[in-house]
Amino acid sequence: MRMKIGLFIPCYINAVYPEVGVASYKLLKSLGLDVDYPEDQTCCGQPMANAGFEKDSQKLALTFEEKFRDYDVVVGPSASCVAFVKCNYPTILKPTGHKCESVGKIYDICEFIHDVVKPEKLQATFPHKVSIHNSCHGVRELGLSRPSEIGLPYFNKLRDLLSLVNGIEIFEPEHPDECCGFGGMFAVEEPEVSICMGQDKVKYHMATTAEYITGADSSCLMHMQGIIDREHLPIKTIHIVQILAAGL
């Protein structure tokens, strides 16, 4: 049976990084998939819930459920937002009596392409050095890579996908799954600590000699790009989907 895919574009990508949403659509279509973008999407509710207003996020969760109800799969280019839906919606929606349907069918776009589509090649070409940023939600809630503290053999689904891109050189920094310091509300409530963590993370990425830092979360990349811009550092950030869709 052909899967009907609903493309979930988080609010900050829609408002700040629309090119990531466009690249996501192009990438999925290039793989021969049936993709639709349901209009009038809203925030998934993560910022509200993370700030302590979980009950007030119920309306957003119910709207999300309604918008994506008729799709077989929901795919989004944000590990943190996807993880929020998957890990928190059942609890948030329980008091409403609504059984969450999204939790069993939502994927981060890299997770979906790697685990479900399993392409043997991509059409993309990106002749640059890139260093992979493993975001906390992607590592520990979605399994995009294996956490170092587990002590088991390492894997990285982002690296697997990037290896299908023509002309690319792939690196990973020292302390590959250490937090960059963004953490949503953490960056607002503890800016001094957040900035120091981000500075350390950018330093590790720069030590790889990479031209770009790439990852599955625009929020983490935005945090590090802010540090790069303020300190005029010779490195840039780019969402992994833009690399996987380069040239489409």
Model pLDDT for residues 131-160, shown as the tens digit of each residue: 999 999 999 999 999 998 888 999 999 999
Q: In 120-217, at which residue ranges do the beta strands (DSSP E only) sit?
A: 129-133, 169-171, 212-215
Tell me: the pLDDT tens digits for 191-213? Answer: 899 899 999 999 999 999 999 99
What are the pLDDT digits (tens) for 224-233? Answer: 999 999 999 9
Between the CA of residue 74 and those of 68, 81, 164, 210, 212, what are the distances in Å? Answer: 7, 12, 24, 32, 28
Q: What sign does the CA torsion over 237, 238, 239, 240 have?
A: negative
* pLDDT score of 213: 98
Question: In degrees rounded to 5, what are phi and psi of residue 107?
Answer: -135, 145
Q: Tell me if the pTM is above 0.85.
A: yes
Residue 204 CB partners (closer than 8 Å, separation 6+): 173, 174, 175, 178
What is the set of domains in the chain, with CATH numbers? 4-117 (3.40.50), 129-244 (3.40.50)
Q: In this predicted structure, which of 21-30, 105-114, 118-127, 181-190 has the lowest mean pLDDT?
A: 181-190
Quote the pLDDT of residue 186: 79
More confident residue, 94 or 50: 94
CA atoms of 111 and 192, how far apart (whole Å): 33
